[in-house]
Amino acid sequence: MAYLVTGAAGFIGFHTSQKLLERGEPVIGVDVVNDYYDPALKEARLALLKKYPAFTFHRADIAEREDMEKVASLHPEITRIIHLAAQAGVRYSLINPYAYTHSNIDGQLVMLELARNLKQCDHFVYASSSSVYGSNEKLPFSIEDRVDHPVSLYAATKKAGELMAHCYSHLYQIPSTGLRFFTVYGPWGRPDMAAFLFVKAILEGKPIKVFNHGDMRRDFTFVDDIVEGILAVASGQPSGMAVPAKVYNIGNHRSEPLPRFISVIEESLGLKANIIYEPMQAGDVKETFADIDPLVKDYGFYPKTSIDEGIPKFVTWYREFYKV
């Protein structure tokens, strides 16, 4: 058995690949290593993965058919796909919308075709997002809720990816599972996410921008918990259904007020934040909160890490990595 992990140089892809390698599983990693954020951080993650003999890396674009067909031809041993490569970020979708259709729609199609044509692939696990819930006001967000009113192009592309996966499961009986991630943070995290932005600004003595005047809540989920859920799902597959396609929420099942999140960062740094309050940003939502009961029931997943535990771990990594 071998796993193909796309987005292997990315935040969640790196942690997922590393955990698989620690378990002794062969991993074929794919990443285009673009400049959406500092490529040096991605290269540093890759450098750690390349220390494992069972890791093979291909610098390729998941939306380019020829690139991915070559990867598949070189690795007929692939039995499971964990597709985490995507163009992320709500606000950037207002600036560069074509990046989202390229990676999240064209890329999803290429990867589904890859799964269809691989002889041994028995599960296609892919990243979706809590953003699909849009302006849904019912809490917690449930996989039974309608998600046909996205408030950002990013959300629309992730919902499209779910529909495409369902279609391929229906047509070709490819077992597929989508995971709607809720605000993932932790060591090696993305520089465009709140934890990274806030820690960096506070250490540099710069103000932090807090939107909707601080009246926001997020289901902040520590990366180790996310990876545990991904691997639990990837080890199984949907069963007992006419169409072997499922979608789950994967979050911390706790909606934290943004001011409390900031206060935990301040405590971990031993510094106070200079806060500039701003109105709500286009495409953003006030609150997220994951109903994870289906994932608990089907896979025994339950998150273990509160922000009081997770934020200090992120701060420790940040200080060590950036030597500050």
CA distances from 15 to 22, 185, 249 (A): 10, 12, 19
**Whether the predicted pLDDT of 239 surpasses 80:** no
Burial class (CB in 10 A: 0-12, 13-18, 19+), 27: buried
pLDDT at 133: 96
**pLDDT (mean) for 308-315:** 98
Q: Of all residues in the chain, what percent carry a pLDDT higher than 70? A: 100
Task: Please determine, for residue 283, whether its predicted confidence score (pLDDT) is greater than 80.
Answer: no
Strands 123-129 and 176-181, how do they pair?
parallel
pLDDT for residue 183 = 96
d(CA 29, CA 6): 6
Query: In angstroms, rounded to a whole number, what is the distance separating the alpha carbons of residues 245 and 165?
Result: 7
Please report, in angstroms and rounded to a whole number, the separation of the first and last CA atoms in the chain: 42
DSSP 23: T
pLDDT in tens, 39-70: 999 999 999 999 999 999 999 999 999 999 99
**C-alpha span between 180 and 250 (Å, rounded):** 6
Domain count, the chain: 1
Amino acid identity for residue 112 in this structure? L
More confident residue, 280 or 256: 256
What are the tens digits of pLDDT across the range 205-225? 999 999 999 999 999 999 999
Do β-strands 2-6 and 275-277 pair in parallel, antiparallel, or remain unpaired?
unpaired
- Average pLDDT estimate for 189-205: 97
Q: Is 154 a catalytic residue?
A: yes
CATH number at 73 reads: 3.40.50.720
Going by C-alpha positions, the residue among 17, 8, 114 that lies closest to residue 68 is 114
pLDDT in tens, 69-80: 999 999 999 999
3-state secondary structure of 230: helix
Task: Give tens-digit pLDDT for 86-139.
Answer: 999 888 998 999 999 999 999 999 999 999 999 889 999 999 999 999 988 899
User: What pLDDT score was predicted for residue 284?
Assistant: 82
The mean per-residue pLDDT over the stretch 225-240 comes to 92
Half-sphere CA count of 262, side-chain side, radius 13 A: 22
Catalytically annotated residue among 154, 168, 248, 299:
154
pTM tops 0.75, yes or no: yes
Q: Is the confidence at residue 1, as pLDDT, over 90?
A: no
Residue span of the structural domain in which 122 resides: 2-322
pLDDT tens per residue, range 3-12: 999 999 999 9
Residue 168, SS3 per DSSP: helix
Find the mean pLDDT for residues 303-316: 98
How many whole angstroms separate alpha carbon 35 and alpha carbon 42?
9
pLDDT value at 240 more than 80:
no
